[in-house]
Chain A
Amino acid sequence: MENSKFINDNFINYVSKVSPRTNEVRTLFRAFWVGGLICCLGQSFRMLFENVFSLSDDVLAAYVSMVMIFLGGLLTAFGVYDRIGKYAGAGSIVPITGFANSVVSPAIEFKTEGYIYGLASKMFVIAGPIIVFGISSSVLVGLIYYFIYNVL
């Protein structure tokens, strides 16, 4: 099958020229202040755990992540997080709360197809690539680190 027969480059150029664009100044500003706020929230939890509960340095990061993931999941379940995401874009996708949202939202959505074939198997449809590439790249970076410090 030859597809170039019907493709109309003039039309594609015209469409891309007249298509409405994302207002980048506005979306960047929104992402900046909401993303920043989420990070400040995380940092304040860290300071709270450090100074009030006197937790040691190596468990602090894990505790903060746990609290933020819980909050992300909770807000998703209450139907609030998608509204934040609609407003803030990457500002609420990039922090760890966004990761929680990407796992919880398909879990809620696909529960209708049952707990095994629906909820459990569809839970990682969005977070799956993040996990795969996150783990692969951490292995790669680990190997580089090993060679630089132990072999050279």
Chain B
Amino acid sequence: MQTVIFKNPPVITFSSSVAGPKESEGELSHFFDYKLKDDMYGEKTFEKAEAKIMYSAIDILLSKSKIKEDKIGLILAGDLLNQIISSTFAVRNFNCPYLGIYNACSTFTEALLVGSLFIDRRYKDNIICATSSHFSSAERQYRYPLELGSVRPPLSQWTVTGAGACMLNVKGEGPKITMSTVGKIVDFGVKDANNMGGAMAPACADTLLTFFKETKLEVDDFDLIITGDLGVFGTRVFKDLMWEKGYDVSGNHVDCGELVFNINEKEYQGGSGAGCSSLVFCSFFMELFKKKKLNRVILIATGALLSSLSALQGESIPSIAHLVCIENMEGKK
């Protein structure tokens, strides 16, 4: 079994989000807690700015939840930069136990998964799960300098600037994480580092199919199937793969990467990055849960586990997807 069914499902009591300037112009603008006017955020480097974005997200979460720093059981955080420096330097400012995790863009669901295990076994309470990404720091690490006059290929995605954080509790008001599936690394041999959607779609389909098989649930049992950052092209490939196995997800599938930016900007496939799923989930979807417009969703974030070195060495892109099932438990037996 890859799927874990929690006996004591953790509650997502609070969430916070900090969004970059471009994200703040998008459709989800009024759901964000804090919107940056400048992506430097008053810092000298993009890396420091990213750390500050994550710091702010956790800080807002603490003030929303009114839980003191010393009552925090654990902070689970991750990002895209080498040695996950954004998370480390952000959490440095809090006097809290910390686990740094990395699974590229699927880090957020990995954090939820690990946090849920701690709560399920009652080892800890008040667990913060946070991830961040920053367009400019990611470009610096994976691609070219910002001012270089180059053309973005049609398959490329735009790294989201922003962070999302949420609080997991043993008790409280809010949606619960009831099940979770740990993904396997799937690599079908896609080598184009720009085609992350195409590389990640098989991993996404693999995890979701495993989940359906192990829980005997159907697509229609869920209000929404939310993927992390497959983008427009990856979504298409994902739907095709699911269709091939006899599942039609086109009715209730939505992709965070497709939601986060203004639809009118047609030059790329949508958002990506570790901050993409956390930013969208911790703002928009948490709001929908609070308003009881959603009852049961699958959140499945996908990660392309490549590095700038492995791509140059001709390696294909290993991908992974972790799944969490989130439910509003009220009104149920």
Contact = CB atoms under 8 A, between A and B. Distances in A.
B153 A22 contact: yes
A9 to B, nearest CB: 8
B145 A93 contact: no
B150 interface: yes
Given A7-B189, A19-B155, A109 B147 contact: yes
Contact of B146 (A8, A27, A82, A84): A82
Nearest to B187: A6
Contacts, number: 95
A89 B147 contact: no
A22 B267 CA distance: 11
A81 B198 contact: no
B145 A86 contact: no
Interface in B155-196: 155, 186-190, 195
A20 B202 CA distance: 18
Interface in A73-88: 76-77, 79, 81-86, 88
Interface string A82-112: 1111101100110000100110111011101
A98 B148 CA distance: 9
A99 to B, nearest CB: 11
B154 A20 contact: yes
A108 B106 CA distance: 32
B316 interface: yes
Q: Which of A3, A11, A79, A110 has the most CB of B within 10 A?
A: A11
A126 B144 contact: yes
27 contacts: A3-B316, A6-B187, A7-B188, A7-B189, A9-B189, A11-B189, A11-B190, A11-B202, A12-B189, A19-B155, A19-B233, A22-B153, A22-B154, A27-B151, A82-B146, A82-B147, A82-B148, A85-B148, A86-B151, A92-B149, A93-B149, A101-B147, A102-B148, A105-B145, A106-B145, A109-B140, A112-B46
Interface of B: 44-46, 140, 144-155, 186-190, 195, 198, 202, 233, 236-237, 240, 316
Interface of A: 3, 6-9, 11-12, 14-15, 18-22, 27, 76-77, 79, 81-86, 88-89, 92-93, 98, 101-102, 104-106, 108-110, 112, 126
Closest 3 CB pairs of A and B: A85-B149, A7-B189, A105-B147
